[in-house]
Structure 1
Amino acid sequence: MKQPNENLVAIKQRIEAPAPAVAAYIGDFRNAKEWMVGVEGVERLAEDVYRLRLESPVGKLEPEVKVLEHNDSIMRWAYTSTIEGGGEVSVAPSGGDSSSCIVSYLGDFELKGKVLNRAARLVGMERFARKNGERSLLRLKQLMEARRY
C-alpha cells in the first residue's frame, strides 16, 4: 500500500529573472525538453495534451500529460498513461523590484503496474526523480538568468 506523499518531490529555486518571463517560458509545455532533465522530447497530441519521451532508471517511458491549469503563476498537469500522478510548477515574484522570482516544483508519481513500480523502487526512482527535479530547476535558473529563452 502506498504511503501518503511517498513519491512526493518538492523543490524550490530562486531565479534572478522576472516572474512573468519565467512563467511564460514554463507555461509552454513544449519547452520542457529544454529545461526538464530527463525529458528527451515533447509531442503535442491535442490542446493541452502532450506525450513526453523520458529517460528513467527503468528505461524509456512515454507518458501522456494533460495540462490542467495554466496561468501567470502556475502550471499544473496530470499524467494520463504509464505514470500515475502529476505535478505543478509555480512562480512567485521575490523582492520589491520584480527582477527575481521563486520557482517551486511539486510532483507526485507512481508507475502504473505493480511489477514496473516495484522495479522502479528497486532502482531508486524516487531519488532519481528528486535529483532530476533539482537539476531541472538549476537548468531553468541558468537559462533564465542568461536570458536564453
Structure 2
Amino acid sequence: MGLGAGESAGGEGYQSPAGSVRLEQVIQAPADRVAEYISDFRNSGDWMVGVEDVEALGDDSYRVRLDTPVGKLEPGVRVTRRGEASISWVYTSTVEGGGEVEISPMPDGCNVLYSGNFRLKRKLLGRAARLAGVERFAHRNGERSLTRLKALMEAERY
C-alpha cells in the first residue's frame, strides 16, 4: 500500500519517515453489525481519532481532514475494497499508503484488526513528521480509535 524499503518520496536520496500500525481489539458486538458500520467510510470521522471531517466526493472517493502533529492535512482517500467483513482504502494525495479494517466473528462478539501504513509525500512535511514523532502518534491514535469503536458498538451508539 505504501512505498517499499529504499523507495524515495520527495527527492533524490530522501526517505520520508514512514509509519505503520497493526492493532487488534475484541468487541462484544455482533461482527456483522460492526462490519456494516465500518464499511461506510463516512463513519470513520466518528470512530477514527484524528479524523475531523469526511467529505464524500463520489465513486468511493473522499477527502478527510486530519489533525496531525505536523498540522492539518486533507488527503484524498479511495476505498479499494469493501467486503462482508472488511474495508480497505488508499490515500490519493498528501499521504502515500492506506489502511484496512477486518472483522472476525467470535463466540461473544468479534475481533477487529486495523492495519495501516503511511508516508508523507512532501519532503518538508516528512522532516516535520520525523521530528514530531508521527509513528508514535499514529499508533496511539490507532489504539484510541479501536477503543472508541468498541465503546460505540458495545453501547449501540452509532
TM-score class, shorter-chain normalisation, is over 0.9
Residue from 96, 111, 126 that aligns with 2:135:
126
Q: Determine helix, strand or coil for the equivalent of 1:25.
A: helix
Letter in 2 for 1:118: R
RMSD: 1.4
Which aligned pairs between 1:58-137 and structure 2 lie closer than 5 A?
A: 58-95=70-107, 99-137=108-146
Offset of residue 35 of structure 1: 0.3
1:10 paired residue number: 22
| Aligned counterparts of 2:34 and 2:63: Cα–Cα separation in 1 | 22
Q: Are 2:157 and 1:145 equivalent residues in the alignment?
A: no
| Aligned counterparts of 2:133 and 2:69: Cα–Cα separation in 1 | 8
Structure 2 unaligned regions, length at least 5: 7-17
| Aligned counterparts of 2:122 and 2:75: Cα–Cα separation in 1 | 13
TM-score, L = length of structure 2: 0.88
Letter in 2 for 1:121: R
| Aligned counterparts of 1:8 and 1:59: Cα–Cα separation in 2 | 19
Residues 2, 125 of structure 1: alpha-carbon distance in 2 compared, 3 angstrom cutoff: farther
Offset of residue 3 of structure 1: 4.0
Post-superposition CA distance 1:41-93 (Å, at most 9, x none): 00001110000011000000000000000011110000000000000000000
Offset of residue 115 of structure 1: 1.8
Offset of residue 2 of structure 1: 6.7
Percentage of matched positions with identical amino acids: 57
Q: Determine helix, strand or coil for the equivalent of 1:9.
A: strand
